[in-house]
Structure 1
Amino acid sequence: MKKNTYIFLMTMLLMSAAISSCKKGFIEMNTDPNGTPNALPQQLLAPALVNTLSTNMLRNRNFNNELMQVTVDMGDSEGRVFRYDIRRSMADNTWNGWYIQLTNFKDIYNVASQPLNYNESYMGISLICQSWVYSLLTDTYGDVPYFESNQGREGNFTPKFDKQKDIYTDIFNNLERADTLLDAAANVVPSSDPVFNGDAAKWRKFGNSLYLRLLMRLSGKAEMADFCKAKIKEIVDTNPAAYPIMAGNEDAAVLRWTGAGSLTSPFIGGVREQDWRALAITEFFINNLSRWADPRLTTNRWSIGTYQGGYAGVPSGYAPGENIEKKSYFLSTTSKTTLMNDPLMGNIMNFSELQFILAEAAAKGWISTPAETYYKAGVQSGITFWIPTFTTPIDEYLASADIAWNEDASLNDKMEMIHLQKYYSMFGTDFQQWFEYRRTGHPVLPKGNGLRNNGVMPARLVYPVYVQSTNPDNYRAAVAAQGPDEIYTQVWWQKP
């Protein structure tokens, strides 16, 4: 036995020495002396944006739209999201997709901050993109890995989960830093940037508009209310020169799908045409547009199919066995522009959403411009975002649709007016409709008889199942701090 052990140890030592000898000079031999061992920011940005938007769009279609009564995946089987019946595996896709791309966004900052490649524009863009993706993560799951996330290269495969308050505090710090970095910054390589074609000033406007979105999201949290109100006022009223924001649809943060190469919509190839057509559109979504004679209902860009000569939807949340008939649905074809290949479906944040954020702030008395001004601009830009040729005077349109601003209405009624229009502005935009409904309870959605979760809108997605086995200690600590790992557990900013 001793002899065999000795032979085994000597063999292992010899193999180790041989491997060590083989490694000598390997790195030097396989490094391009004229290149760089790391990808450059201009190589990383476009793929990271494309992949993030692909994750967002696919899950917007089959998760957000089902919860928020845009569509109904009709059927009586288990796991129908429109009934708040959410399989635990639904959580995996966005978690994986977002964290993978965070590695790329972080690499952009790390490489751009090195002396050889120093570039404040890419650093600022990286911080904005990180803030955007981390906000999606924490608004979806609650407490998530943040300060220790994406450290696998450093050997940290079990990151701790950070509290949502701490995550948001650092996001705000990063957006402040990005605004400073992009102040008078040079443009970046146009081909590296499918959102703003290299325009650093537009990235800065988007970063500050995103800041307003996130400040508003936390404004109902008692311990954050004063800070959020004061910061919103500073950005909009007292120091707007230091915080430029979107000024029109031309500033919208949209990754436009041109159909060329990697800029092909993820719906092409990711969703079969028959599956695209399979989802019914809801009564809530269609009836509002019909009542207002909203031109988006009939535009070829949205391509909504008619039913018996008109437009009709189905009720959401209906119970199994009710035998609901399918009516209107989104058409699909690659021979013309539909939502399957429309360039504007790569929406990150648009000008109309921003106007409704400001309308809410004004209605609550936080900023000086009348809420009606922002409300009108929001409705108009929401339509012209999709239909640039819409020229009906906004006052005329609002009056005929019976949705004109009413300054004498209660704050709750004003919130419903604002958020019903905002709901359509955020159509196709990741989970923003869901986030805003969880924050405000607006717009008021009808409740069907078949809803699970006691008829209450789910407050979060659960953590991926594999996290429980790969990072058990930190998973248990997060659940102990936040609450049960269930869809009904509210995240920090949802609680008073």
Structure 2
Amino acid sequence: MKKLSILALSAFAMTTIGLVSCTKDFVETNTNKNGASSAQPESLVTPALIKVLQANQTRALRLTNELMQVHVTNINTDEIHRYIIRPNESEYMWSNWYTQRTNFLDIYKGGALVGNKTWMGIGRILDVWVMSLITDLYGDVPYTEANNGKEGNFQPKFDKQSDIYPDLFKKLEEANELLTAKQAVTDSTLEMLYNGNADRWRKFGNSLYLRLLLRASKKDEVAIAAKMQEIVSTPAKYPIFNDNSESAIFKFTVVAPYVTAFNTYREYDFNGDNSLCSYFINNLKEWEDPRIDKWAVKVSGEYQGLASGYEPTNAPTARLSYYNKNLMNEPMMGNIINYPELQFILAEAALKGYITGDAKSYYEKGVASAITLWGLTVPTNYLTHEGINWTEATNDNEKMEKIHVQKYYTLFFTDFQQYHEYRRTGFPVMPIGPGVQNNKIMPTRFRYPITVQSLNATNYKKAVAEMGGPDDMLTKVWWNK
């Protein structure tokens, strides 16, 4: 018991302090002669980014893809597809995200110390990205007092999501302004997402801004619509992605340490105990979508899917189509936010009247670019396919579903984004199997980690009460109420 308590305290300290560096020689290289320590941004950015992306990949495989019917387990006792998510699932992402957030904050601080606005802007964008992942999964979370263990705060208060989101917007505004200076960065090759290109980072930040504005749009449509319109209509002030090449995708290699989380997996560890779902595979088959060959393997000469949410008494006896093993080292698995997703964001915003522009045009650009993003050719007449074609005569609800069905495939293996969008919109409409639990409601959030419950109990209980409690998978986060 004593050993377990020590381990729990250690995990919590990692969450709040984040002292572990991304480089082995952190203390030596980041301590100046006067004894004041400061982080060198170029030594932090790529290792920290890789750590987050690798963690996101493993949880997409284990959690998102099960919940969102990309695949379903063949192991009867693994019940995520039945909406049964045990509390211990929360610990891994919480600890990883908060630990790497310390490094992202240090990128900003290091940039400020050396007077480099590009590093400061990069630090802000990465901080917003990882904090959006945290708050979108759990709701109210430590923010203003988080990552302050060095200052002795081991029990940070929880900030309301309604307060976190506006501050994330402020940071993205700051990043957009900082990056206009276009200051060259030291050792740009060590920043392997955009090689220190301030213009590309601005586009990443503003495209992320649109994702988060849309996510919070239910809470203040008028103000958010005005900001989205300002971003879209003033590209000189708020540049966003213009094509696939500008997407925020970390292109993994097969040379360590720049490898996917699955690089060292056995093939069985990656796809040996699951089958692709009927919902996921059947759409691709019906559309004759070229991505199916990239993503899936045939069984008995054809693509076959397994129904999700089966009852414990009706476990599958045969394995059907599964992931193509080439995905284990696929460079595209480093997706953060891409150009096709942006087009679907704009399509929804135009459909709802938040921005000017043609929703159909945005939608069709998104559909086509989602295929070419993977190095594939859009089949002839693909956009006229039943289920894909945009018909003005259909109602807005039907158009919304088309946008989000296509967005669902665009978000393939992108952390928890499919899950967040489903919670926000209810799309895509997926079949609910007979074995599904949680009142047959998609989990509305993840529970707080057990270590947080025990080691920051007072603030934890206050947060649960303010969210409307209890700490379960039916209590909604702020943007979803």
Same fold (TM over 0.5): yes
Range moving further from structure 2, 130-139 or 194-203: 194-203
Structure 2 residue identity aligned to 1:486: D
Structure 2 residue identity aligned to 1:398: L
Which residue in 2 is equivalent to 1:120? 117
Contact 1:70/1:282, CA 8 A, preserved across alignment: yes
Contact 2:117/2:181, CA 8 A, preserved across alignment: no
1:253 and 2:245 equivalent?
no
Which residue in 1 is equivalent to 2:7? none
Which of 350, 353, 372 aligns to 2:338? It is 350
Which of 208, 222, 229 aligns to 1:226? It is 222
Contact 1:293/1:401, CA 8 A, preserved across alignment: no
Which residue in 1 is equivalent to 2:444? 459
Which residue in 1 is equivalent to 2:97? 98
Three-state SS of the structure 1 residue aligned to 2:166 is helix
Give the Å deviation of 1:36: 7.8
Unaligned 5+ residue runs, structure 1? Answer: 1-26, 333-337
Structure 1 residue identity aligned to 2:315: N
Contact 1:246/1:351, CA 8 A, preserved across alignment: yes
- Given the superposition, is the C-alpha separation of residues 187 and 418 from structure 1 closer, same or farther in structure 2, using an over 3 Å criterion? farther
Which residue in 1 is equivalent to 2:75? 75
Which residue in 1 is equivalent to 2:17? none
Separation (CA, whole Å) in 2 of partners of 1:379 and 1:80: 33
Which residue in 1 is equivalent to 2:411? 426
Contact 1:296/1:387, CA 8 A, preserved across alignment: no
Which residue in 2 is equivalent to 1:328? 321
Which of 453, 477, 480 aligns to 1:491? It is 477
Which residue in 1 is equivalent to 2:358? 370
Which residue in 2 is equivalent to 1:8? none
What do residues 432-484 of structure 1 show as CA deviations (whole Å, max 9, x unaligned)?
00000000000001000000101100011100101122111101110111111
Aligned positions of 1:362-401 closer than 5 A: 362-388=350-376, 390-392=377-379, 396-401=381-386
Three-state SS of the structure 1 residue aligned to 2:336 is strand
Give the Å deviation of 1:199: 1.2
What do residues 98-156 of structure 1 show as CA deviations (whole Å, max 9, x unaligned)?
00001000111112112xx1110010011000000000000000000000000000000
Separation (CA, whole Å) in 2 of partners of 1:361 and 1:172: 18
Give the Å deviation of 1:33: 4.1
Give the Å deviation of 1:214: 0.3
Aligned positions of 1:77-476 closer than 5 A: 77=77, 79-114=78-113, 117-188=114-185, 189-221=187-219, 224-237=220-233, 239-269=234-264, 271-278=265-272, 279-299=274-294, 302=295, 304-324=296-316, 325-332=318-325, 338-388=326-376, 390-392=377-379, 396-476=381-461
Give the Å deviation of 1:200: 1.2
Contact 1:265/1:341, CA 8 A, preserved across alignment: yes
Separation (CA, whole Å) in 1 of partners of 2:454 and 2:35: 40
Give the Å deviation of 1:258: 1.4
Contact 1:256/1:346, CA 8 A, preserved across alignment: yes
Contact 2:105/2:127, CA 8 A, preserved across alignment: yes
Larger Rg: 1
What do residues 402-457 of structure 1 show as CA deviations (whole Å, max 9, x unaligned)?
52111121111010000000000111100000000000000001000000101100
Contact 1:282/1:313, CA 8 A, preserved across alignment: yes
Give the Å deviation of 1:326: 2.0
Separation (CA, whole Å) in 2 of partners of 1:159 and 1:405: 49
Separation (CA, whole Å) in 2 of partners of 1:372 and 1:347: 25
Contact 2:125/2:171, CA 8 A, preserved across alignment: yes
Three-state SS of the structure 1 residue aligned to 2:135 is helix
Separation (CA, whole Å) in 2 of partners of 1:291 and 1:214: 32
Separation (CA, whole Å) in 1 of partners of 2:32 and 2:387: 67
Separation (CA, whole Å) in 1 of partners of 2:475 and 2:32: 52
- Given the superposition, is the C-alpha separation of residues 156 and 35 from structure 1 closer, same or farther in structure 2, using an over 3 Å criterion? closer
What do residues 187-214 of structure 1 show as CA deviations (whole Å, max 9, x unaligned)?
4333221211221111100100000000
- Given the superposition, is the C-alpha separation of residues 328 and 430 from structure 1 closer, same or farther in structure 2, using an over 3 Å criterion? same
Contact 1:276/1:331, CA 8 A, preserved across alignment: no
Contact 1:280/1:328, CA 8 A, preserved across alignment: yes
Give the Å deviation of 1:186: 2.4
* Residue identity (%): 49
Contact 1:184/1:201, CA 8 A, preserved across alignment: no
Separation (CA, whole Å) in 1 of partners of 2:267 and 2:360: 41
Three-state SS of the structure 2 residue aligned to 1:280 is strand
What do residues 330-369 of structure 1 show as CA deviations (whole Å, max 9, x unaligned)?
132xxxxx11000110100000000000000111122221
Separation (CA, whole Å) in 2 of partners of 1:488 and 1:32: 50
Three-state SS of the structure 2 residue aligned to 1:348 is strand
Over aligned residue pairs, what C-alpha RMSD do you find? 1.8
- Given the superposition, is the C-alpha separation of residues 120 and 191 from structure 1 closer, same or farther in structure 2, using an over 3 Å criterion? same
What do residues 292-337 of structure 1 show as CA deviations (whole Å, max 9, x unaligned)?
00000123xx2x21122110100011111213232100132xxxxx
What do residues 366-408 of structure 1 show as CA deviations (whole Å, max 9, x unaligned)?
22211111011000110011124x1545xx2111455211112
Give the Å deviation of 1:35: 10
Separation (CA, whole Å) in 1 of partners of 2:480 and 2:32: 52
- Given the superposition, is the C-alpha separation of residues 112 and 289 from structure 1 closer, same or farther in structure 2, using an over 3 Å criterion? same
Contact 2:371/2:378, CA 8 A, preserved across alignment: no
Structure 1 residue identity aligned to 2:67: L
Structure 2 residue identity aligned to 1:242: K
- Given the superposition, is the C-alpha separation of residues 408 and 148 from structure 1 closer, same or farther in structure 2, using an over 3 Å criterion? same
Contact 2:118/2:196, CA 8 A, preserved across alignment: no
Unaligned 5+ residue runs, structure 2? Answer: 1-26
Give the Å deviation of 1:39: 3.0
Query: Please, what TM-score do these two structures have when normalized by structure 2?
Result: 0.91
